[in-house]
């Protein structure tokens, strides 16, 4: 059951590209996912075959429009899980738990969970690439402390 691995890569590449404001190097993507550069390279090749990114040797990878769309969906999915854990299940460690769960909760399930939470319209642009979390939820968490 590794269907969501591709989404995790797309999400990581999207965030690295945002930080770099340009192509993402395979090394940075591998670092972010804590995988070996060889595994990252292999997966990037697969994603390129699916038309989700363009890989230019020595420069790095750029997501295609379809790749960006998928990456943003994965980010939104994560934001829904984070917010659901915080608002509905009142989980204190909602962030670390969301990271554990995002691979098991797919988009269709997240959409249903989304029907009972109060999510911000700017999502998934609320995502803080540096910390790999939803920035809006952080502000609210601090405000309620």
Partner 1 sequence: MVAVSLHRPVGSDHQLARLLQIGVVLEEVVEARAEKHAQMTDELDPAVSELLEHASAESADHRRELEALIATLEAETVPFDEIKRLVEAQYEADEEFDGILYDQLCNEETAYKFYDDLIGAIEASETEFSIDRERLLSTLERIREEEAEGAEDVTQLMESRE
Phi, psi of 11 (to 5 degrees): -65, -45
What residues from 31 to 50 belong to the interface with partner 1 (CB under 8 A)? 31-35
The residue (of 32 and 52) whose beta carbon lies closer to partner 1 is 32
Tell me which stretch binds partner 1 (CB under 8 A): 46-54, 58-66, 125-133, 136-144.
125-133
Among 25, 48, 55, 103, binds partner 1 (CB under 8 A): 103
* Residue 135 binds partner 1 (CB under 8 A): no
CA distance 124 to 135: 10
- Which residues of the shown chain bind partner 1 in the complex (CB under 8 A)? 1-5, 8, 11-12, 15, 31-35, 84, 88-89, 91, 97, 99-106, 108-109, 111-113, 115-118, 130-133
């Amino acid at each position: 059951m590794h269907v969501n691995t591709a989404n995790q890569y797309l999400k990581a590449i999207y965030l690295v590209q945002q930080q770099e404001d340009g192509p993402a190097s395979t090394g940075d993507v591998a670092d972010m996912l804590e995988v070996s550069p060889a595994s990252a390279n292999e997966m990037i090749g697969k994603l390129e075959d699916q038309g989700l990114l363009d890989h230019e040797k020595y420069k790095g990878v750029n997501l295609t429009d379809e790749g960006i769309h998928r990456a943003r969906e994965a980010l939104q999915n994560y934001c829904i899980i984070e917010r659901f854990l915080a608002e509905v299940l009142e989980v204190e460690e909602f962030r670390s738990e969301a990271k554990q769960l995002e691979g098991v909760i797919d988009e269709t399930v997240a959409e249903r969970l989304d029907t009972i939470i109060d999510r911000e319209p700017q999502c998934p642009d609320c995502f803080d690439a540096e910390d790999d979390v939803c920035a809006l939820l952080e502000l609210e968490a601090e405000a309620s402390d």
